[in-house]
Structure 1
Amino acid sequence: MRRGKAASHLDLPRPDNLSAGKQQGAYEALRGAILNRQLPADSRLPSTRSLAERWQVSRGTLEAVFDRLHSEGYVQRVAGSGTRVCAVIPEQFIAAPASKHMLRRPVDADPPHAGVQSHVPFVARRPDASLFDRKAWARCISRGLLAAGVGVLEAAHPGGLPALREHIADYLRSYRGMHCEADEVIVTTGIRHGLDLVARTLLQPGDLACVEDPGYTPARRLFNLAGAQVQSIPLTAEGLDTAQLPAHARLAYVTPAHQAPLGVTLSVSRRLALLDWAHRADAWVVEDDYDSEYNYNSAPLAALKSLDTNDRVLYCGSFNKNLFPGLRVGFMVVPKALRPSLLRTLQLTGHSVGASDQSGLVDFLGSGAFVRHLRASRQAYQARRDALLACLPPGVTVSGEQAGLHFVLWLPAGVSEADFCARAADAGLSLQPLGKFCVEVTLPPAVIIGYTALTLAQIRFHGRALAQLL
């Protein structure tokens, strides 16, 4: 055997149906081998040359078959490493059909954020960890630790490693239009950790905190845990209705780039009105910039923090939302007046990020690997979004699809969210109703569609099931 050329571990038998049409017969044989897991995920297919000799068909026929399987999301063709299976086949696809009472899931059992999972249609509104280069990450951690030296392992850095904070500030200056310095950055374990620090530091029992409605449920709960009164502020087509912000509130929490969950972008006029309110009310604005890197139609607006001439905005970002969920590294850009008190809270709670992950990120950001990953993942997510939208029947209304990790699918008039989600569960789909994110407002029926942590094969297969429900 030639060096570097591993033979296929499966001796695929010649299909019986080649006489009716060689190309279609070969396609059905290979597709069937993938679906019944004779060719499992990440296994390598035989070369077209060896398979052509074994099956006694032309190599050109098999090249056309391999290209078709690639276009449909079953295989991935990479120069130098052959053709590999990339479709993940759900267990229920090859299992015996279960009874309906076993498949039905109660739609009200869990809070909406609890159902987010990778590879589960359509609650997969999170980054796809399979797009992340783990070998490159391992090298970055090794190089980062060796370059930093033993002092990084011995010294305490409650605000984060200075080198990492400098790289984060440089990235935000270049890509989010912010004028910030490294000493304004605090490294956290994620956005929720940042919100918890804000709640513990800024809110006293009885203080008023304003949140979007519909909005991000954990923010409301964290502010409640601090003893604050939480006031819901409705949204319009331009985002948060700033005219309804009370003059005596302590802070307002917003997701301006891609509102969670509606997906609208806070307009420039509303951004300026929000900052003017914060200045006049002596209040703070918490900007959650959770998925601003993923804008598919045009360049995103600069961060709200970039307009903050009075230093009233606390900016929260996260690497968990664009690298992989298990990383647990985020960051905040905080006003200089709040940095000492936030650092005291951080030291008291002891929730600092480990030195190895921080050192790895120093190398990952400094080498340009982070920006390259964002570029590649943005292209992958856009392809998945486009594939899913193509599955939906004409006349269906969606919104928020221009960016982010999810969009909103508006249901036909008269359709109940609960009934639709129950029927979806019978079809093997997990859906989050929009009503679960609403507190005081009442909106037309809709569901949240997360697609980024699904393969193209999953999207096409389950997208057809979703279209049938509609």
Structure 2
Amino acid sequence: MEPVFDAAASAAGDPDGPVFEFPLELPARGHGQLTHELHQQLRAAILDGRLAAGAALPATRRVAAGLGVARNTVVAAYDLLIAEGYLAPRRGAKAVVADVAARRDRRAPRRLSAGPEDPRLNPLWRTPFLRPEPPRDLPERCFRLGIPDHRHFPHEIWRRLSAQTLRAWSRTGFSYPPSEGIAELREAIAQHVAFARAVACGGEDVVVTSGAQQAFDLLARLLVTPGETRVAVEEPGYPPVRAAFAAAGARLLPIPVDEEGLCVDLLPEDARVISVTPSHQSPTGVALSLRRRRALLDFARRRNALVIEDDYDGEFRFGHRPLDALQTLDRDGLVFYIGTFSKSLFPSLRKGFIVAPRWARDALATVKHCADSHSDTITQSVLAAFIRDGHLARHVRRMRAVYAPRREALLAALDAELAPWLQPIPCEAGMHLAARIRDPALAPAILARLPRHMPGAQSIAEYAMSAPAQPAIAFGYGVADVDQIRPATRAFARSLAGIGAQ
């Protein structure tokens, strides 16, 4: 066959570019097989997914002009595809590709079965505790952890700043931004954490990340020597932290947590990295005491170790003045401070940051560039303006007033209706609180009734590497209204009445 046309290249005189975004090879005019070949090649493209279900085919006149064939040839090929069910005609509009998934499956070559246990996968990603849980089908108003209330977000302000950013971006924003984040946002973050948490830093010390999870991943890449570095993590603790360090080849050291936070006196001498959530421990909610903060920094100084401070839920305080951040107390450049805007603003923003010691910031920027050469400019610019103009600080104050009565209602219910079964864990910050199950023997029965009456609440065991000795439950109140909390806890208490109590 003599090829005369490659549809992946623009046809001569066609201002709209390629007719099809894949090659077509047709015989020369007069060959007598033009319609057959066009039909067969379009049919093959539909079956293997190059022409996706629902895609509109180009008009016959344009295809004919682009291929250099008669329009009747294209019409005939289209009619054959319609007759066979590969195209769906539409009155007054272009034909679209039909859903032929079942036929495509029959054509697909047989392959070796693959799945989570497939030996071709890195063994790490076959480890069950690292697999993400599927999203749970929960009502909008529930006791889910870590979700802020969108009804109180200043949508109009965000839209206005977005419009202003887009107007400026259309003139200047088409180049690659710096991998560590645009200067305006880095400066705004530095000023914000200095004001809100007394974290001493400048914009040059800040690296912008895609949420806290990317921050953990970057630090794991930077600080871990595979198979050698021993990393202490809280037990129970935030599973994505464990996943990031395990993926980097670290040897994980689970360290218990009690009413004062991480048990610093149980840290092994060879721990070289310690990950901690001192402001509002995830998931118990306790704060790392000042005594232990100092002990942790002293341990790191003596053992030449490094501390990763995840300031989880640190924005929302309901008690006394917050304890100083570890980064604030650090005088030796030992602390990497991580923050995120997922709780104070909204999770889909996907913006977090690392404040790095000066000795590490160039290396961290290099790691960020290798993993993610740049973050998007538009949302960075909007967020920078939102912080710079004082909207973030005002929004946090407003949401603290929204969350406070919800927290009080939940505490009151734990101290009243649910007191026979649950004991609140002291907590003065964040968007969730936890309670221990008084009688561990009743834990299975209590947890079995939890989803029906308080959907979204979670067992602390979901955050632990091994079964906790003292089972507990974490209740979020970010999207649980006050008038929903008391009826839910009363119904939960009634369901527990028949199983006994201490």
Same fold (TM over 0.5): yes
| 1:187 and 1:331 in contact (8 A); partners too | yes
Could you list the per-position Cα deviations for residues 264-293 of structure 1 after superposition, in whole angstroms to 9, with x for gaps in the alignment? Answer: 111112111111221222221100002101
1:173 is paired with a residue whose SS is helix
Size of the alignment, in residue pairs?
363
Deviations 1:376-396 (A, max 9, x none): 111101111122233342535
Cα separation, 2, equivalents of 1:240 and 1:116? 33
Name the CA distance, whole Å, in 1 between partners of 2:440 and 2:268.
35
Whichever residue aligns with residue 195 of structure 1, its letter is F
Alignment of 1:109-188 (within 5 A): 119=140, 121-146=142-167, 150-188=171-209
Q: Check 1:270–1:412 CA distance in 2 against 1; reply closer, same or farther (3 A cut).
A: closer
Alignment CA distance shift 1:386-1:236 (3 Å): closer
**Aligned equivalents of 2:445 and 2:135: distance in 1?**
20
2:233 to 202, 207, 211: 211
Partner of 2:494: 468
1:270 to 289, 292, 295: 292
Query: Does residue 361 of the first structure (1) align with residue 387 of the second (2)?
Result: no
2:359 equivalent to 1:337: yes
1:220 is aligned to 242
Distance 2:137 2:262 in 1: 25
**Counterpart in 2 of 1:77?**
none
Equivalent residue for 2:435? 409
Q: Which has the higher contact order (CA 8 A, sep 6+)?
A: 1
What is the CA-CA distance between 1:113 and the residue it aligns to?
10
| Residues 209/193 of structure 1: CA separation in 2 closer, same or farther (3 Å cut) | same
How far apart, in 1, do the equivalents of 2:285 and 2:138 lie?
A: 19
Is contact 2:233-2:276 (8 Å) kept?
yes
Secondary structure at the counterpart of residue 191 of structure 2: helix
Deviation for aligned residue 1:366: 1.2
CA spacing shift, 1:147–1:300, aligned 2, 3 Å: farther
Structure 1 consecutive aligned stretches of length 4 or more whose deviation exceeds 4 Å: 108-118, 145-149
Question: 1:160 Cα deviation (Å)?
Answer: 0.8
- For 2:138 and 2:373, locate their aligned partners in 1 and report how far apart those are by CA, in whole Å: 24
Deviations 1:334-360 (A, max 9, x none): 111211222112111226431111111
1:43-54 → structure 2 map (5 Å cutoff): none
Distance 1:372 1:410, change over 3 A: same
Structure 1 counterpart of 2:403, one-letter code:
Y
Q: Is the counterpart of residue 437 in structure 1 residue 473 in structure 2?
A: no
Asked if the contact 2:143–2:454 (Cα under 8 Å) also holds between the matched residues in 1, the reply is no
Pairing partner for 2:445 from 393, 415, 419:
419
CA distance in 2 between counterparts of 1:303 and 1:113 reads 34
Residue equivalent to 2:265: 243
Q: How does 1:297-316 map to 2 (within 5 A)?
A: 297-316=319-338
Structure 1: 5+ residue stretches without partners: 1-107
Secondary structure of 2:430 counterpart: coil
1:388 matched to which residue of 2?
A: 410
Cα gap change, 1:245 to 1:427, in 2 (>3 Å):
closer
| Residues in 2 aligned to 1:118 and 1:351: alpha-carbon distance in whole angstroms | 38
Question: What amino acid sits opposite 1:226 in the alignment?
Answer: A
Q: Aligned letter for 1:214?
A: P
**Of 444, 451, 458, the match for 2:477:** 451
Contact 1:210 / 1:251 at 8 angstroms: preserved in 2?
A: yes
Answer yes or no: is 1:296 the counterpart of 2:318. Answer: yes
CA distance in 2 between counterparts of 1:153 and 1:130 reads 33
Deviation at 1:417, TM superposition (A): 2.7
1:379 and 1:118, CA in 2 relative to 1: closer, same or farther beyond 3 A? farther
Gaps of 5+ in 2: 1-128, 497-502
Question: In 2, are the aligned partners of 1:249 and 1:283 still within 8 Å (CA)?
Answer: yes
Alpha-carbon deviation of 1:418? 2.8
Deviation at 1:117, TM superposition (A): 6.4
Contact 1:435–1:443 (Cα < 8 Å) also in 2: no
TM-score, L = length of structure 1: 0.72
- The answer to whether the Cα contact below 8 Å between 2:238 and 2:283 also exists between their aligned partners in 1 is yes
Match of 1:233 in 2: 255
Cα distance, 1:227–1:120 mapped onto 2, change above 3 Å? farther
Aligned to 1:407, the other structure's residue is in SS state: strand
Once residues 179 and 294 of structure 1 are traced to their aligned partners in structure 2, the CA distance between those partners, rounded to angstroms, is: 20
CA distance in 2, matches of 1:118, 1:192: 25
Residue-by-residue CA offset, 1:65-107 (whole Å, 9 max, x unaligned): xxxxxxxxxxxxxxxxxxxxxxxxxxxxxxxxxxxxxxxxxxx
Out of 255, 277, 282, the position equivalent to 2:304 is 282
Contact 1:415 1:445 in 2 (8 A): no
1:189 to 196, 207, 210: 210
Q: Structure 1 440/323 Cα, relative in aligned 2: closer, same or farther at 3 Å?
A: same
Give the letter for the 2:358 counterpart: K
Between the aligned partners of 1:117 and 1:167, the Cα distance in structure 2 is 35
CA distance in 2, matches of 1:454, 1:427: 13
SS in structure 2 opposite 1:160? coil
Output one character per residue of 1:195-241: Cα deviation in whole Å (capped at 9) or x when no partner: 00011121121111110111111111111111111001112322111
Please give the per-residue CA displacement for 1:305-352, whole angstroms capped at 9, x wherever unaligned.
Answer: 001110110000001111011110111101112112221121112264
Answer yes or no: is 1:371 the counterpart of 2:397.
Answer: no
| In structure 1, distance between residues paired with 2:440 and 2:323 | 36
Q: Is the Cα contact below 8 Å between 1:143 and 1:363 reproduced in 2?
A: no
> Residue 458 of structure 1: CA displacement?
3.0
CA shift, 1:250, in A, is: 2.4
- Provide closer, same or farther for how the CA distance between residues 277 and 448 of structure 1 changes in structure 2, counting only shifts above 3 A: same
Q: Report if the CA contact (8 A) 2:277-2:309 is conserved.
A: yes
Larger Rg: 2
> What residue in structure 2 maps to residue 252 of structure 1?
274
Give the deviation of 1:177 after TM superposition.
1.0
- The 2-side partners of 1:307 and 1:149 are apart by 43
Q: Distance in 2 between matches of 1:456 and 1:144?
A: 37
